[in-house]
Amino acid sequence: MLVISFSILKVIFNLCLAVLTIVTLLISIAYFTLAERKIIASVQRRSGPNIVGFWGLLQPLADGLKLVIKEIIIPNFANKVLFIFAPFLTLFLSFSGWAVIPHSLDSYIVDLNMSLLYVLVISALGVYGIFLAGWASNSKYAVLGGLRSVSQMISYEVSISLIIVPILVLSGSLNLIDIVFVQIKSVWFVFPLCPLAIIFFISILAETNRSPFDLPEAESELVAGYNVEYSSIIFALFFLGEYGNILLMSALFVIFFLGGSDFFGLESELIFSLKITLLVFLFIFVRANLPRYRFDQLMILGWKIFLPLTLGFIFLITGFLIGVNGLIVKQFYLTV
């Protein structure tokens, strides 16, 4: 009976932690949008939102309320079931990835032995929500935006997957908690893998369809891309999913290269949150300063530049580690 009671309590605790994580994510996304508008306004010498609430702090809530009370409009020739299902799928996958993200060494919802593979699978499945939205809308602009997004996300998932290989080699584990633990005990991977960290950051910009790689939503060409036919709350679901993915990718960057929740011996969830905030600022800063790439330039960057570079780093790092291990083994036998 005690074992059953303990199991039930553990399930209830995990459910409460999951609900708390979702609520925290929703609040973070809301004020992420406010920070984005404020920072871009500052770059462009404007004031940004400053009417609703003190310093515009209630503006995200007003925007959310406006989207909720608007009418849901579904095109006559759209596939209605898939049209409505696509934003729910995108939001669900965006939030599902957070189940295995360690906020600290002892704060997480689920501890999977191969949590890194879980995150990669969730990220890959995100393509389906966007493509279904473009196809189900039955609009040429939406279809073109969906196709662009699929090709872009698949191209840069290759780079992201290859960048993760040296991290696996150095950490010796597919568990995100172990990857953080290895960096705490040795050194943050951003120092030995600095070029890969830069490539990873650029790749997650493309993976999340952010500027300067926001080609699936190019207003000058595709009006608004795959979500051109969406309105009201179902548009808000896409919006939440997109910004949730940005926060998830920022969290992965922090775990892979910045030691997770560690800061030179100190380890807490607050440090983890501050590092994610720094990455979010970089996302916004890039959007405020860089122009949009052409689509052919985006593909060339992914396949002809990032792919050879990441493959080269895999051979370099694995060869270096094999050489070092060989010298250690040889020295051991000589000593014996």
Q: Are strands 262-263 and 266-267 parallel, antiparallel or unpaired?
A: antiparallel
Residues (pLDDT < 70) of the chain are 1-6, 10, 14, 216, 218-224, 324-336
Burial class (CB in 10 A: 0-12, 13-18, 19+), 165: middle
Task: In whole angstroms, give the CA distance from residue 232 to residue 202.
Answer: 31
In the Cβ-directed half-sphere of 88, how many Cα atoms lie within 13 Å? Answer: 5
Reduced to 3 DSSP states, what percent helix, strand and coil does the chain have, rounded to the nearest 5? Answer: 75, 0, 25
Show the tokens assigned to 330: 């040889």
Task: In whole angstroms, give the CA distance from residue 242 to residue 304.
Answer: 27
**Under DSSP, is residue 107 helix (H, G, I), strand (E, B) or coil?**
strand
Provide the pLDDT for residue 141. Answer: 81
Burial class (CB in 10 A: 0-12, 13-18, 19+), 245: buried
**Cis before residue 291, ω within 30 degrees of 0?**
no
Q: Residue 231: CB partners within 8 Å, gap ≥ 6? A: 70, 71, 72, 73
Burial class (CB in 10 A: 0-12, 13-18, 19+), 108: buried
* pTM, entire model: 0.89
Contact 82, 236 (CB under 8 A): no
Show the tokens assigned to 173: 């584990």
Contact 258, 190 (CB under 8 A): yes
Provide the pLDDT for residue 233. Answer: 85
Task: In whole angstroms, give the CA distance from residue 28 to residue 276.
Answer: 11
Which residues, listed in sequence order, are joined to residue 104 by a DSSP beta bridge? 107
Which residues, listed in sequence order, are joined to residue 263 by a DSSP beta bridge? 266
**Angle 63-64-69 from CA coordinates, rounded to 5°:** 100
Q: Residue 214: CB partners within 8 Å, gap ≥ 6? A: 292
Task: In whole angstroms, give the CA distance from residue 271 to residue 89.
Answer: 31
Phi and psi angles of residue 263, each rounded to the nearest 5 degrees, phi first = -140, 85
**Angle 89-199-226 from CA coordinates, rounded to 5°:** 30
Show the tokens assigned to 16: 């409460």
Task: In whole angstroms, give the CA distance from residue 102 to residue 259.
Answer: 11
**Under DSSP, is residue 289 helix (H, G, I), strand (E, B) or coil?**
helix
Provide the pLDDT for residue 125. Answer: 85
Provide the pLDDT for residue 6. Answer: 62
Is the Cα torsion angle 184, 318, 302, 293 positive or negative in sign?
A: positive
Provide the pLDDT for residue 332. Answer: 47
